[in-house]
Amino acid sequence: MRIISTPGEMSRLARAIRREGSGRHSLVPTMGALHEGHVSLVRAARDGSTIVTVSIFVNPTQFGPNEDLARYPRTFEADCAALQGLGVDYVFAPAAPDMYPDGFRTSVHVDGLRDRLEGQVRPGHFDGVATVVLKLFAIAQPDAAFFGRKDAQQLRIIRQMTSDLDLGIEIVGCPIVREPDGLAGSSRNAYLSPDERRAATVLSRALRAAADAIGRGIRASAEIVAAADAVIKAEPMARPDYVELVDADTFDRVGSIERTALLLLAVRIGSTRLIDNAVINVRDGEVNVER
């Protein structure tokens, strides 16, 4: 496994991979502090690709002024050891001044999707994500890129950008990986104290309550959201930012379940903000919930 630390070196390598027709090159963009969710992305990428590159870059432009950029966990050595064991070919780990040199002026906005839900609570977040992902795509020139479905709005925005800009990169969304007690894998779980860690299961419990309501035949959003809300309200350490049922394509709120929808949660546990979601699939009148 080779570690590449400059965009110039990575693009030279990417051009050589293309020129030599070396086979399918997959990119797994990450901010490091790797957990089982990332491992599943790398495994999915490894399976069916000739070359796998993982990028590790804590992207400053996707953090708001009062967010956790400074304290975001950085575990580069351990990350590299894990990636080596997973058979990764290249780790691209650029420094921020090389990604955003003085005079950098460009920002990517995916209108209509960037300023609601996560984007409303975290203004500018998705512009930062779209900009860095487009840069990573331009530098690494992958055939495919792998993202977790936990960040559902991010995945939707990256798909839209890739299609709008004809990037010709296959975007693969991978299932959420959960701890045995249901907590979704996140680098931010490292911030939780033992009590907060216990309270954090409220997100997956809320999704389960909503899934149970759907299983009982409830289709009205207000009732499904209320089932999830009741679980969150019963947890004293939890403060919800939002609990919303939205159309999986437009991210508009829906009144009832008629086509594929997403139940999205953002909840603060102490000073840690966690997100989670469930996909509500509707096929031939059958509804099933994927968490």
Point out the residues that are catalytic: 38
Q: Is 173 in the site for ligand PAF (CB under 6 A)?
A: no
- The residue from 27, 31, 33, 177 that contacts ligand PAF (CB under 6 A) is 31
For position 278 contacting ligand PAF by CB under 6 A, the verdict is no
Q: Quick check: helix, strand or coil at residue 147?
A: strand
Task: Supply the minimum distance, in Å, between the C-beta of residue 29 and ligand PAF.
Answer: 4
Query: By CB under 6 A, is residue 151 in contact with ligand PAF?
Result: yes
User: What is the amino acid identity at position 223?
Assistant: E
Q: Which CB, 58 or 227, lies closer to ligand PAF?
A: 58
Region binding ligand PAF by CB under 6 A among candidate stretches 26-34, 64-72, 230-238, 263-271: 26-34
Name which position in 33, 86, 133, 174 contacts ligand PAF (CB under 6 A).
133
Q: Is residue 53 at the binding interface for ligand PAF, with CB under 6 A as the rule?
A: no
For ligand PAF, the closer of residues 53 and 62 by Cβ is 62
251: left (phi over 0), alpha (psi -120 to 50) or beta: left
Q: What CA–CA distance (Å, rounded) separates 236 from 199? A: 8
DSSP per position, 194-262: HHHHHHTTHHHHHHHHHHHHHHTT--BHHHHHHHHHHHHHT-TTEEEEEEEEEETTT--B-SB-SS-EE
* Interatomic CA distance for residues 88 and 107, integer angstroms: 30
Q: Where on the chain is the footprint of ligand PAF (CB under 6 A)?
A: 29-31, 59, 62, 129, 132-133, 151, 154
